[in-house]
């Protein structure tokens, strides 16, 4: 097994019409959608689509969440409970999500091949396209490139994660630093988001002009990638400076804090909702330490409820605000956990048959996709690799993965694995 990064609890060793162009084209046509050309109407619909990826780093157990099998030899100690879908059961550790099961879909037959964190995480988040000798972008950067910002005054891709924040250019792969992500450490805005009292707007503008001129001179005789990363991170920080109210906790309803939970994952999913409301195109929320090689059941009993409440609250809130139909919510990891319980009462890495949850933006409501063997160990119907999921995601966002291509140095590259198709059973 490859070396496990420190953030796991593992014990072993160009295309599109711009928003401005669209508004100019439409002029006074707002309210007459049926009269618009089909291409423009589709672009309007696409402009509003957003994504929230909740990433449970390390691998959440399907047995203790979406696919409990308490009567099987691998089921573990937790009961299964009824959901709002007749005949469908989830683990007792997700009672709030069980209440809204009719609003989401679960794919129980993910079959993704790679059992390692170090290679599995980028494989899943990049969609595992056919190797073209280049580093593909992570999903958030891909969406930022292909759809652009949903709100031109906010960054298209933000990443909420525990620990430190900062601009992360490498997520963009061959797309270039301008499609990287700004990570918000603990969901907080970049440091120094408030302009010092002693610095006027005029002084700040003069400083910015000088900074831009210095960067241009620097780029004239050095590679542009580092400058591009710096410029992008600076522009994103300035955008967030203009929207400081998004991070003002005093404007947050105390009942929301209670519903989502005061633990990091709850706070971060609530922050994600606020950023979606503000118009951020793609938000990734990371939670770590799901790698339950030891003491799986006690760890699951502590961790999974921390997902359950805020996930259910997010789905309900997005629906109440009229946002669920255009916001795609994805809950997944790099793989699931083994059926067999190891000698440390843990479950190990298992990409052969595991589950993910999806909601919103064209996802079929109340669909449970895929059949496993009776013990849940293997797929007993059609298994889906990550390429199938990327085809599904892009299709739901209004893109045609068969026709849409990246262009790099004169080469056209597929946005999703050439040999895969969308998972039609999960789509409306």
CB atoms within 10 A of CB 63: 31
Q: Binning pLDDT at 50, 70 and 90, where does residue 115 land?
A: very high
Q: Binning pLDDT at 50, 70 and 90, where does residue 38 land?
A: low
Asked whether the beta carbons of 157 and 52 are under 8 A apart, the reply is: no
pLDDT digit string, tens, across residues 59-72: 999 999 999 999 99
pLDDT at 211: 63
Residue range 314-330: mean pLDDT, rounded: 98
| Least confident window among 41-50, 62-71, 230-239 | 41-50
pLDDT at 180: 96
pLDDT digit string, tens, across residues 383-396: 999 999 999 999 99
**Percent of the chain scoring above 90 in pLDDT:** 72
pLDDT at 233: 78
pLDDT at 254: 94
Determine the Cα–Cα distance for residues 257 and 310; give it in Å rounded to an integer. Answer: 10
Which has the higher per-residue pLDDT, 218 or 158?
158
Burial bucket for residue 164 (CB in 10 Å: 0-12, 13-18, 19+): exposed
| CATH superfamily membership of 52-187+248-426 | Alkaline Phosphatase, subunit A (3.40.720.10)
pTM of the model: 0.85
pLDDT digit string, tens, across residues 168-190: 999 999 999 999 999 999 999 88
Does the pLDDT value for residue 27 go beyond 50?
Answer: no
pLDDT at 34: 37
Q: Which residues contact 369 (CB under 8 A, 6 or more apart)?
A: 105, 106, 107, 108, 109, 423, 425, 426
Which has the higher per-residue pLDDT, 397 or 26?
397
Does the pLDDT value for residue 103 go beyond 50?
Answer: yes
Delimit the domains of the chain by residue range: 52-187+248-426
Residue range 50-58: mean pLDDT, rounded: 98
Name the average pLDDT for the chain: 88
């Amino acid at each position: 097994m490859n070396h496990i990064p420190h953030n796991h609890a593992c014990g072993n060793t160009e295309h599109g019409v711009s928003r401005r162009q669209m508004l100019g084209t439409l002029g006074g046509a707002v309210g007459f959608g049926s009269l618009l050309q089909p291409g423009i109407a589709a672009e309007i619909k696409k402009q509003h689509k957003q994504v929230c990826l909740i990433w449970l780093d390390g691998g959440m157990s399907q047995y203790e969440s979406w696919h409990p099998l308490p009567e099987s030899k691998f089921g573990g100690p937790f009961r299964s409970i009824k959901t709002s879908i007749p005949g469908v059961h989830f683990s007792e550790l997700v009672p709030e999500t069980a209440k809204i099961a009719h609003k989401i879909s679960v794919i129980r037959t993910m079959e993704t091949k790679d059992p390692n964190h170090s290679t599995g995480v980028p494989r899943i988040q990049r969609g595992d396209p056919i190797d073209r000798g280049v580093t593909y972008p992570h999903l958030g950067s891909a969406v930022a490139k292909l759809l652009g910002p949903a709100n031109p005054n906010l960054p298209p891709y933000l990443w909420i994660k525990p620990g430190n924040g900062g601009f992360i250019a490498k997520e963009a792969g061959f797309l270039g630093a301008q499609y990287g992500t700004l990570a918000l450490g603990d969901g907080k805005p970049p440091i120094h988001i408030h302009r010092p009292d002693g610095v006027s707007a005029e002084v700040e503008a003069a400083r910015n002009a000088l900074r831009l001129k210095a960067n241009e001179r620097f780029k004239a005789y050095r590679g542009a990638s580092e400058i591009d990363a710096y410029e992008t991170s600076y522009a994103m920080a300035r955008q967030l400076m203009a929207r400081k109210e998004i991070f003002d906790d005093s404007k947050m309803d105390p009942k929301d804090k209670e519903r989502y939970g005061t633990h990091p994952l709850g706070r971060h999913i609530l922050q994600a909702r606020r950023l979606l409301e503000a118009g951020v195109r793609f938000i990734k929320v990371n939670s770590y330490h799901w790698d339950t090689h030891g003491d799986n059941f006690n760890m699951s009993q502590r961790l999974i409820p921390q997902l359950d409440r805020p996930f259910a609250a997010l789905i309900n809130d997005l629906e109440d605000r009229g946002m669920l139909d255009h916001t795609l919510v994805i809950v997944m990891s790099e793989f699931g956990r083994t059926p067999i319980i190891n000698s440390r009462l843990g479950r190990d890495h298992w990409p052969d048959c595991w589950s993910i949850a999806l909601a919103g933006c064209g996802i079929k409501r109340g669909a449970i996709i895929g059949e496993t063997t009776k013990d849940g160990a293997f797929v007993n119907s059609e298994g889906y690799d990550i390429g199938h999921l990327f085809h599904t995601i892009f299709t739901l966002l209004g893109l045609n993965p068969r026709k849409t291509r990246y262009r790099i140095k004169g080469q056209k590259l597929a946005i999703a694995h050439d040999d895969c198709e969308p998972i039609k059973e999960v789509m409306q």
